[in-house]
Amino acid sequence: MLIDKLKSVILISTTILICSSCNVREFSAYEKELIYKAQADSSMRITLVTNQEDSLLLRTTSKPINDPSDPTVKLLARRMLATVTDPMHKGVGIAAPQVGINRRLILVQRFDQEDKVFDVIVNPQIIDFSDSLEAVTEGCLSIPNLRGEVLRPWLISIEYQDTTGRLITEKVSGYTARIFQHEIDHLDGILFIDRVDNQ
């Protein structure tokens, strides 16, 4: 009898574990509430290292996005764009954890392109980088009133998806490469102040 009960508990636990891992890449109810609770072009609250809950979230590795064409991804990108271009706290890049969403999504202002628009970058990863390094002063929307010099590769090769799911590989250099690196760090729970301390 006791063995049967134990088997039943193990079976239920295993089923819960399998089901939860199936949905690991989907947006949670909490994340959807954050994304959908305001109009598409309204900015979101920026997570700050000075807030304990925010700081824990900013230190968490973000999960991949399973379906880049999901309307929720597109809405999140629109609201992130409204946030990073808000005159109250304008930036040149933003990562989803900075608006409370631990998903692998960033927006980068493309200073390497003539129109300098923001690109929506899904599931980015750096696949190669140059030996040539450059030290530049950085700041961060999530760490107000603090700046520091960070040494980063001048040239990187990146791979990512756009919001249609198309896989893109490209080389990026200079200031735009720095923005990519800074924002991808956010997806791995790394802040620019970590790079300053380690020099």
Instruction: Indicate which residues carry an active-site annotation.
Output: 183
96 within 8 A of 105, measured Cβ to Cβ: yes
The Cα 41–Cα 183 span in angstroms is: 21
The Cα 178–Cα 134 span in angstroms is: 9
Q: Distance between the two ends of the chain, CA-based, in angstroms?
A: 62
> Which of 83, 85, 170 minimizes the C-alpha distance to 121?
170
